[in-house]
């Protein structure tokens, strides 16, 4: 995370769901251009012709300018359409495979392009990932609303943990999924401590009922297991175990799940007030 984001001067970039920042659009374009030139030498012009035909343009015009202008002037979803068209082109009869070295096969090309596009999607915090030849959402409006709600509670300690989890998860330059998970579970821990006064999430979960918060035993058990995933011996929060390969899917699951559970606990405790030391730091 850059200095400006650590200091709170610049907020972390949000997940791009129904938007596309200029930087993401540019990197997708550069990836297509570089991959074509590297693997297929001078065949990008043929690909442009195929794409322009799909997009409804005349292919006898100067295709490079038309293609670039369309890519950058179009709505947010069109670059994703274009990438999918390219996968179709590689698998079509128009693909100029016959005249190229034998090691440049459609499957080799697809794997290289998928890898390059995936890197860009992850680094630019796109809300979509490639599954096969199609882009699929990794989040939705319900999940985004859940995250937003859990950052605007009357419990500042909870808000801060969720905000840090989001920032660590969505940091474009250096995402930190391990610490994002730690902050996600810490948000639940903070909420449970406010309700029960217990010092650990394990004890707090077991004593929610005594403080008027009745949850199903299966749900309690599920969060105890999640707490174990993050905190027990060998867990992510255990000081002696380095979790250097935490996948993005785990971090996202914990972020959304813990945010939803925070919101659930607040809904179950309508009369709960912020602790005295948080009264002067309420977000409203």
pLDDT score, position 188? 92
Q: What is the pLDDT of residue 28?
A: 94
- Provide the domain count of the chain: 2
CA–CA distance from 49 to each of 35, 44, 117 (Å)?
Answer: 17, 9, 21
Determine the pLDDT at residue 240: 46
Average pLDDT over the chain, rounded to an integer: 77
Q: What is the rounded average pLDDT of the residues 144-160?
A: 88
The mean pLDDT value for 36-58 works out to 63
Establish if 212 belongs to a structural domain.
yes
Residues 276 and 153 in one domain: yes
Place of tokens 């882009």: 135
Which domain does 203 fall in, by range? 142-281
pLDDT tens figures, 200-221: 888 888 888 888 888 888 888 8
Residues 42-55, mean pLDDT to the nearest whole number: 64
Q: Does position 105 have pLDDT exceeding 70, yes or no?
A: no
Task: Say yes or no: 151 and 48 in one domain.
Answer: no
Say whether both 146 and 133 belong to one domain: no
**272 and 239 assigned to the same domain:** yes
Confidence bin at 104 (pLDDT 50/70/90): low
| CB neighbour burial string for 266-275, b if at least 16 within 10 angstroms, e if fewer | beebeebebe
* Residues forming a β-bridge with 39: none
- What b/e sequence results for 27-40 when a residue is b if at least 16 CB atoms lie within 10 Å of its CB, and e otherwise? bbbebbbebbeebb
Please indicate whether residue 171 or residue 239 has the higher confidence score (pLDDT): 171
26 and 133 inside one domain: yes
Over 60: is that where the pLDDT of 234 sits? no
Give the range among 47-56, 70-79, 148-157, 218-227 with minimum mean pLDDT: 47-56
Does residue 273 lie within any of the structural domains? yes
| Stretch 59-86: mean pLDDT | 80
Note whether residue 9 is domain-resident. Answer: no
In terms of DSSP bridges, do strands 128-131 and 134-137 run parallel, antiparallel, or are they unpaired?
Answer: antiparallel
At 130 the three-state DSSP class reads strand
Domain-located, residue 16: no
Q: What is the tens place of the pLDDT at every residue in 153-162?
A: 999 999 999 9
Task: Let me know whether 179 and 124 are in one domain.
Answer: no
Distance CA 124, CA 24 (A): 6
Here the tokens at position 144 are 């985004």
Q: What's residue 24's pLDDT?
A: 95
Minimum mean pLDDT range among 31-35, 120-124, 192-196, 233-237: 233-237
């Amino acid at each position: 995370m850059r200095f400006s984001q650590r200091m709170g001067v610049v907020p972390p970039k949000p997940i791009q769901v129904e938007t596309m920042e200029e930087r993401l659009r540019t990197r997708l374009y550069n990836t297509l251009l570089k991959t074509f030139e590297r693997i297929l030498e001078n065949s990008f012009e043929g690909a442009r012709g195929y794409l322009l035909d799909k997009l409804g343009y005349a292919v006898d015009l100067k295709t490079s300018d038309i293609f670039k202008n369309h890519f950058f002037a179009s709505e947010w979803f069109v670059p994703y359409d274009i990438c999918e068209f390219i996968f179709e082109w590689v698998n079509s009869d128009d693909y100029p495979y016959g005249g190229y070295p034998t090691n440049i096969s459609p499957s080799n090309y697809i794997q290289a392009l998928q890898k390059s596009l995936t890197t860009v999607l992850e680094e630019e915090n796109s809300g979509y990932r490639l599954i096969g030849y199609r882009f699929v959402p990794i989040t939705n409006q319900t999940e985004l609303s859940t995250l937003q709600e859990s950052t605007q509670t009357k419990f500042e300690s909870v808000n801060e943990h969720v905000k840090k989890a989001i920032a660590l998860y969505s940091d474009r330059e250096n995402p930190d999924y391990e610490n994002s998970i730690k902050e996600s579970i810490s948000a639940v821990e903070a909420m449970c401590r406010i309700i029960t006064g217990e010092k650990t999430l394990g004890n707090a979960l077991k004593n929610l009922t005594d403080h008027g918060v009745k949850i199903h035993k299966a749900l309690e058990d599920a969060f105890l297991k999640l707490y174990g995933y993050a905190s027990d011996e060998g867990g992510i929060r255990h000081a002696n175990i380095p979790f250097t390969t935490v996948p993005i899917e785990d971090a996202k699951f914990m972020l959304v799940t813990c945010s939803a559970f925070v919101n659930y606990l607040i809904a179950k405790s309508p009369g709960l007030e912020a602790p005295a030391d948080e009264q002067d730091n309420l977000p409203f």
